[in-house]
């Protein structure tokens, strides 16, 4: 029998394997995400730790370098002070030998020097063989030297004086130890100064030299000492070293003639205990800073979103505002290229924004005949010249070729950094304004013509009475002349004279009648509105016959006063004549009241004096003042408020346009019209006109 075969189990399906591996894959993805998330934090922690260690190390190193640098600088300053002090002492010692010296005189000088210089132990005057002539010890300590031991064979003095004679300058001996009779001793060195006929020897105490010649601030917190080149310390002064301190050392060479030694400064600084305290403080501070930065970053993000939203609203609002205004706006860069235009400007010139900003022509809306002038003006503007703040007028051309006037306001275009990037211009189409001004000008001229005609109508009744007298006189003189010429026989010579006189009277009366008629004719007829230089006397003479015509009817006396040397006036002659006539007629009508005995109209013309406190620019222009004064009833307070209001009048037959037109005429000439009350009664009107 054959062995039975075992059945082979089928392989598991792929779906079951995937289901078995799914938790493993999920755990791997979780571990990966956790690792990725924590990897960044670990990396940040490592970086922060490295930063802290670096900061601590740099802080300690910086403190050490700063202390060492400060000590070296103080040491260099001390060496400089020491050298300067030694040089001054040598000069002082040499200066003390000036003049004739004897033994007593030298001792007196030496005593004064020893009192001033504590660093000297002894001063000696020796001859050329170095034999002592005189010597004196310092008064500030017990005597150190014995006279027997200070002979010519003293090696320190011999070495110093030999170097001094060799170099020709003061020289020093090497430092040496001087024992004290009381025990102990001190370090000293000799200074030899050659003089005429001998030498002067000064003995320095090295400790007192440090105390007196080095700044006390150097020895306050550190130890200063003299050291030989081999490192042997000679003397030291200053604060001793404290336990637990770090030593900083600096030394400088003091190279003296005949001697060489070092100045050494040892500074004591406490060992910086930075690691435990600063590390904790830095970690805490950085942790707080990180949290604060995250909070501030979140706030900044929200604030930035709000600002962006507000900025978008502001831009939309500005766009809507620029699109709705009727004022044209245009921006140009510093090269004159157009960078922005609003719809109002496009509509004004009939071109689109793309056509304006992409045009190769400087400005397609410039009229051809004015293009060169506008190019020069633009070149001046781009060169940095500021435009007038009140704007200036120009003429633009529409796309269809029509011209229209515009008022332009320009200002520098400044960016957020405060630098100029171009020019911003605003344009106002003033075509309608010009049309309204022309219509107003024509209306004003018609009103003035109507006022003149009304004045002529009032004067028409006076003309018959005024012309009756000259015509009657002409007829009378003519009849008399005919009677004289009609006599029989030859005419006598006396009769010829009478005839000649009658003929002259006829001519005078005819000229008088013609002058009245010409004055009315010149006043009524329309003339061109041009300004010219006119003498004030000519203005008064032109209206004086018309004024006197009404004055005779109302019984008014006219007084005219003109100051001498009046300048000529730049004015519209017709308007000023009407102004004078209106004011004079108003003044005479104000005096047409019963019970008024004195009726005088005063017309005065005088130059205006400059104001005492006025500036030179304001007084540079000359003015002439006209005044018309009457003695009438005056102007009440109620009437005064509405005196210059158009169509306001207190007369039943008045139009209410006289004073309103008068003020308009004066203001058009740049002057001012005003009035004031007179005492006891009456009113005076004054107006000013500019001199030519």
Phi, psi of 455 (to 5 degrees): -65, -40
Q: How far apart are the first and last CA of the chain?
A: 153
Q: Of all helices (H) and strands (E), which one includes residue 347?
A: helix 343-349
pTM of this prediction?
A: 0.38
Q: Is 269 helix (H, G, I), strand (E, B) or coil?
A: strand
- Contact 214/220 with Cβ under 8 angstroms? no
- Tell me what pLDDT residue 1 has: 44
The predicted structure's pLDDT at residue 310:
85
pLDDT of residue 515: 64
Q: Tokens at residue 51, please?
A: 């930063």
pLDDT at 625: 92
Distance CA 313, CA 271 (A): 62
Q: Which residue segments constitute the domains of the chain, with CATH numbers given?
A: 80-270 (3.30.450), 323-429 (3.30.450.20), 433-526 (1.10.287), 529-692 (3.30.565.10)
The length of the chain in residues reads: 692
Q: What is the pLDDT of residues 314-371, one digit of tens each?
A: 888 877 777 777 788 888 787 778 888 888 888 888 888 787 777 666 677 778 777 7
Q: Look at residue 624 in the predicted model and tell me its pLDDT.
A: 92
List the Cα angle 49/54/55 in 5-degree steps: 95
Q: What is the mean pLDDT of each run of 10 residues along the chain (692 residues)?
A: 50 58 73 64 64 66 77 86 88 79 83 87 86 86 77 82 86 85 81 87 87 77 84 82 73 86 80 51 68 70 81 81 77 79 83 76 75 78 70 80 83 80 80 81 72 60 55 65 61 60 70 64 55 87 80 85 88 81 85 80 85 50 88 76 66 62 81 84 89 84
Q: Contact, 552 vs 601, CB < 8 A?
A: no
């Amino acid at each position: 029998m054959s062995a039975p075969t075992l059945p082979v189990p089928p392989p598991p399906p792929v779906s079951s394997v995937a289901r078995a591996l799914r938790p493993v894959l999920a755990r791997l993805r979780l571990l990966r995400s956790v690792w990725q998330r924590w990897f960044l934090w670990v990396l940040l922690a490592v970086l922060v730790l490295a930063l802290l260690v670096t900061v601590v190390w740099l802080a300690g190193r910086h403190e050490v370098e700063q202390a060492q640098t400060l000590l070296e600088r103080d040491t260099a300053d001390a060496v400089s002070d020491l050298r300067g002090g030694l040089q001054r002492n040598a000069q002082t010692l040499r200066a003390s030998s000036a003049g004739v010296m004897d033994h007593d005189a030298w001792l007196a000088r030496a005593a004064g020097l020893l009192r001033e210089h504590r660093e000297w132990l002894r001063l000696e005057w020796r001859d050329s063989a170095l034999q002592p002539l005189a010597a004196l010890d310092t008064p500030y300590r017990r005597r150190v030297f014995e006279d027997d031991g200070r002979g010519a064979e003293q090696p320190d003095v011999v070495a110093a004086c030999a170097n001094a004679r060799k170099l020709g300058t003061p020289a020093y001996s090497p430092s040496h130890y001087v024992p004290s009779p009381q025990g102990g001793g001190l370090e000293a060195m000799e200074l030899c100064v050659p003089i005429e006929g001998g030498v002067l020897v000064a003995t320095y105490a090295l400790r007192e030299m440090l105390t007196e010649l080095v700044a006390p601030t150097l020895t306050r917190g550190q130890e200063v000492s003299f050291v030989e080149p081999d490192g042997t310390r000679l003397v030291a002064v200053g604060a001793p070293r404290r336990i637990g301190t770090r030593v900083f050392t600096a030394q400088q060479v003091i190279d003296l003639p005949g001697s060489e030694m070092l100045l050494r400064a040892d500074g004591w600084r406490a060992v910086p205990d930075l690691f435990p305290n600063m590390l904790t403080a830095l970690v805490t501070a950085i942790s707080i800073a990180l949290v604060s930065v995250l909070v501030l970053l979140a706030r900044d993000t929200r604030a930035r979103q709000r600002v962006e939203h507000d900025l978008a609203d502001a831009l939309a609002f500005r766009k809507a505002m620029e699109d709705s205004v009727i004022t044209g706006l245009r921006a140009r860069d510093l090269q004159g290229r157009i960078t922005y235009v609003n719809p109002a400007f496009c509509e004004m010139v009939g071109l689109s924004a793309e056509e304006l900003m992409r045009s190769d022509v400087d400005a397609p809306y410039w009229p051809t005949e004015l293009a060169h002038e506008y190019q020069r003006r633009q070149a001046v503007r781009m060169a940095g010249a500021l435009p007038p703040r009140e704007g200036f007028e120009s003429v633009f051309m529409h796309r269809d070729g029509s011209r229209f006037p515009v008022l332009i306001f320009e200002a520098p275009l400044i960016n957020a950094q405060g630098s100029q990037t171009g020019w911003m211009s605003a344009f106002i189409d003033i075509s309608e304004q010009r049309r309204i001004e022309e219509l107003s000008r024509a209306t004003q001229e018609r009103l003035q013509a109507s006022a003149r005609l009304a004045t002529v109508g009032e004067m028409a009744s006076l003309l018959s009475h005024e012309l009756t007298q000259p015509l009657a006189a002409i007829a009378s003189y003519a009849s008399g002349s005919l009677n004289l010429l009609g006599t029989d026989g030859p005419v006598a010579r006396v009769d010829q004279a009478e005839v000649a006189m009658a003929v002259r009277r006829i001519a005078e009366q005819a000229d008088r009648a013609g002058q009245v008629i010409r004055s009315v004719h010149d006043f009524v007829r329309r003339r061109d509105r041009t300004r010219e230089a006119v003498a004030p006397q000519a203005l008064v003479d032109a209206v004086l016959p018309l004024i006197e015509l009404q004055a005779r009817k109302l019984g008014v006396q006219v007084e005219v006063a003109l100051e001498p040397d009046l300048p000529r006036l730049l004015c519209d002659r017709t308007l000023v004549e009407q102004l004078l006539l209106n004011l004079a007629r108003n003044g005479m009508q104000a005096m047409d009241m019963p019970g008024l005995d004195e009726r005088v109209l005063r017309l005065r013309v005088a130059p205006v004096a400059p104001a005492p406190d006025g500036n030179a620019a304001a007084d540079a222009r000359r003015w002439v003042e006209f005044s018309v004064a009457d003695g009438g009833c005056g102007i009440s307070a109620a009437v005064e408020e509405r005196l210059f209001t158009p169509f306001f009048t207190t007369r039943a037959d008045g139009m209410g346009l006289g004073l309103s037109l008068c003020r308009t005429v004066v203001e058009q000439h740049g002057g001012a019209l005003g009035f004031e009350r007179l005492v006891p009664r009456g009113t005076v009107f004054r107006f000013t006109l500019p001199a030519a």
